[in-house]
């Protein structure tokens, strides 16, 4: 008997593998997921090939959870293929949602990255000048490497995306809730992020310790101070991205006594998380003098890497300007 | 009304260098009135600014500035009240704090310093509007168009063979 269980697929592109790990982190709950669905494609765990997906009828997969940003031609082809085969395409995790950590590569040109990795790195030996996009014959057949595109892109900059599951990686609670929502048939509005709408501060266990007004003469890094485990991290001078980050993780990092780094992206109605975070942090500076303001801001070592850590490709400017 | 008519020469023919386009965010209590004064005083200045009137320079979200650059502005000019003169007491200081940090972000993203400018211009300083705008237009002309690459450029995979050749040289 062939049960008509909904079909689900998982795939990864430019990512670290943490999102795959997050699925495994569902622990016993993954058994409930497996009982409710057929997993038809999951290269990291199951031996299905691309041609198996190509043979499926279009739209036959209920939902594909795709993690990772898009950088190579192979990733772009797989995103397009899975889009065609799936009723719902879900961008899973920060890289797929916003570009993620790999998206910080958009501060460098493609050519400079290839030059550094394939030629200049002291551990690289590449006498045949092989690069992504190269073809060569090894005597048994022709081998190809995918092309490396100019920019890192979020999934929705390549194909249409139905829903987003935020986080680096998404927490088990967010994943199970998202899967349950999609299986329930009661679908939220297309384009929704499957997490709460408000900012992280709203669910932060330290929110009551946040003073009415915070005024800082310097920003601190976690290794520089002994962090008080009960007080608002912003009030202690740490660069916490909570005010410009979506809730849903239940302040997991803050419970570990580390500031929020912003992985869940912007709350509702914010277009550019980095710009909002910048705005929130700058207004904490306790000075009216331009020179002193600059001195205080100099204690933020890498503004783009701090405010746009996960969202550069999805931000309003997408990347560093190419000269 | 401040000078907001369309910029001549903007629908440029290929080969011509287009005129710089500036988006100005002017506070309604000071700089907007100064631009108004410049207009009623028949002061002539470069017609390259599109003015957006805001209640306070403290209202200017960094998203507005980035959005302007992303949509084709070659420069962004913020005009607010002089320090101490803010109609809402603190607004222009908040604008200053954000602008100083935004400048660092823009620098990291390869946008030259002269493309983003904050000026305090009071309602009485009509001529200062002329000086600032003319100066900014001149600097932007020297820098050339910004042409921040947009989504369409992002979506296509660049001609790879050509890029490979460049790398291999």
A190 belongs to a structural domain: no
Percent of chain B, pLDDT > 90?
74
pLDDT at B2 over 70: no
Residue A162 lies in a domain: yes
Say if residue A30 is in the same domain as residue A42. Answer: yes
Note the pTM of the prediction, 2 decimals: 0.90
Is residue A176 located within the same domain as residue A217?
Answer: no
Query: Which domains does chain B carry?
Result: 22-168 (3.40.50)
Say yes or no: A116 and A75 in one domain.
no
**What's the pLDDT tens digit per position in B104-126?**
999 999 999 999 999 999 999 99
Q: Within a domain: residue A191?
A: no
Indicate the number of domains in chain A: 3
ipTM: 0.93
Residue A313 in any domain: the answer is no
Gap between the Cα atoms of A54 and A50, Å rounded: 6
In terms of domains, do A175 and A256 share one?
A: no
Structure token digits, residue A203: 């669910």
The residues of B whose Cβ lies within 8 A of any Cβ of A are 61-63, 65-67, 69-70, 83, 93-94, 96-98, 100-102, 104-105, 108-111, 146, 148-149, 151, 153-155, 157-158, 160-161, 163-164, 166-168
**Chain B contact for A60 (CB, 8 A cutoff):** no
Whole-number pLDDT of residue B38: 97
Domain assignment present for A315: no
CATH number at residue A174: 3.40.50.700
pLDDT at B1 over 80: no
List of chain A residues whose C-beta atoms are within 8 Å of the C-beta of residue B120: none
A162 and A243, same domain (yes or no): no
Give the residue numbers spanning the domain of A63: 7-101+151-184
Residue A165 forms beta bridges with which residues? A92
Q: Helix or strand or coil: residue A313?
A: coil
Q: Are residues A162 and A128 in the same domain?
A: no
Write down the mean pLDDT value for chain A.
93
Cα–Cα distance, A253 to A229 (Å, whole number): 12
Q: Is there a single domain that holds both residue A15 and residue A42?
A: yes
Measure CB to CB from residue A272 to each of B66, B111, B146 and give the nearest one: B66
Residue of B nearest to A288 (CA): B93
Do residue A168 and residue A219 come from a single domain?
A: no
The helix-helix angle for B91-108 and A273-282 (nearest 10°) equals 130
The verdict on residue A2 lying in a domain is: no
Domain assignment present for residue A321? The answer is: no
Same domain for A143 and A178: no
Does the residue A229 lie in any domain? yes
Same domain, A14 and A160: yes
Q: Is the pLDDT of residue A78 over 90?
A: yes
A69 and A155 both lie in a single domain: yes
Q: Which of A88, A55, A67 is nearest to A23 (CA)?
A: A67
Q: Given pLDDT bands bounded at 50, 70 and 90, which one contains residue B153?
A: low
pLDDT tens column, A107-155: 999 999 999 999 999 999 999 888 888 887 888 888 888 999 999 999 9
Q: What average pLDDT score do residues B21-50 get?
A: 97
Indicate if A135 and A245 belong to the same structural domain: no
Q: Note the pLDDT tens digit of each residue in A142-200.
A: 888 899 999 999 999 999 999 999 999 999 999 989 988 988 889 999 999 999 999 99
Q: Which long-range contacts (CB under 8 A, 24 or more apart) does B106-112 make?
A: B108/A107, B108/A302, B108/A303, B108/A304, B108/A320, B109/A107, B109/A304, B109/A317, B109/A319, B109/A320, B109/A321, B110/A320, B110/A321, B110/A322, B110/A323, B111/A321, B111/B69, B111/B146, B111/B148, B112/B143
Interface of A with B in 81-110 (CB under 8 A): 107, 110
The minimum CA-CA distance between B111 and chain A, rounded to whole Å, is 7
Three-state secondary structure call for residue A135: strand
pLDDT at position A211 over 90: yes
How far is the C-alpha of B83 from the C-alpha of B92, rounded, in Å? 7
């Amino acid at each position: 008997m062939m049960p008509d269980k909904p079909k689900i697929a998982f795939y990864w592109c430019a990512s670290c593998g943490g999102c795959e790990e997050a699925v495994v982190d569902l622990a016993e709950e993954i058994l409930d997921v497996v009982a409710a669905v057929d997993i038809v494609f999951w290269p990291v765990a199951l031996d299905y090939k691309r041609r198996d997906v190509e043979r499926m009828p279009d739209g036959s997969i209920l939902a594909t959870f795709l993690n990772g940003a898009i950088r190579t031609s192979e990733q772009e082809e797989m995103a397009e293929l899975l889009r065609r085969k799936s009723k719902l395409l879900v961008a899973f995790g920060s890289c797929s949602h916003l570009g993620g950590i790999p998206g910080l590569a958009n501060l460098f040109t493609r050519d400079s990255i290839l030059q550094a990795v394939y030629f200049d790195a002291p551990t690289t030996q590449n006498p045949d000048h092989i690069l992504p996009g190269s073809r060569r014959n090894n005597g048994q057949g022709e081998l190809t490497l995918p092309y490396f595109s100019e920019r890192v892109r979020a999934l929705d900059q390549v194909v249409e995306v139905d829903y987003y599951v935020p986080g680096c990686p998404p927490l088990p609670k967010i994943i199970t809730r998202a899967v349950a929502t999609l299986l329930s048939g009661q679908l939220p509005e297309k384009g929704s992020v499957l997490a709460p709408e408000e900012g992280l501060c709203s669910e932060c266990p330290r929110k009551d310790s946040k003073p009415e007004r915070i005024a800082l003469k310097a920003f601190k890094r976690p290794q520089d101070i002994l962090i008080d485990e009960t007080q608002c991290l912003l009030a202690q001078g740490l660069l916490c991205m909570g005010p410009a980050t979506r809730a849903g993780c239940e302040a997991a990092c803050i419970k570990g006594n580390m500031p929020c780094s912003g992985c869940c992206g912007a709350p509702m109605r914010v277009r550019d998380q980095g710009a909002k975070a910048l705005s929130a942090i700058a207004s904490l500076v306790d000075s009216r003098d331009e020179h002193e303001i600059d001195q205080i801001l100099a204690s933020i070592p890498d503004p783009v890497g701090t405010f746009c850590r996960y969202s550069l490709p999805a931000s309003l400017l997408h990347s560093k300007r190419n000269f | 009304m401040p000078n907001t008519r369309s910029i001549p020469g903007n629908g440029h023919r290929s080969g011509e260098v287009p005129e710089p386009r500036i988006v100005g965010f002017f506070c309604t209590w000071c700089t907007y009135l100064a631009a108004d004064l410049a207009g009623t005083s028949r002061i002539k200045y470069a017609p390259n600014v599109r003015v957006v009137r805001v209640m306070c320079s403290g209202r200017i979200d960094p998203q507005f500035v980035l959005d302007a650059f992303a949509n084709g502005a070659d420069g962004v000019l913020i005009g607010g009240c002089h320090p101490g003169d803010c109609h809402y007491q603190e607004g222009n200081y908040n604008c200053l704090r954000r602008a100083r940090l935004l400048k660092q972000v823009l620098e990291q993203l390869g946008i030259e310093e002269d493309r983003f400018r904050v000026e305090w211009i009071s309602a009485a300083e009509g001529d200062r509007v002329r000086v600032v705008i003319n100066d900014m237009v001149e600097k932007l002309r020297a820098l050339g168009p910004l042409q921040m690459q947009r989504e369409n450029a992002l979506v296509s995979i660049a001609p790879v063979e050509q890029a490979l050749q460049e790398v291999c040289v």
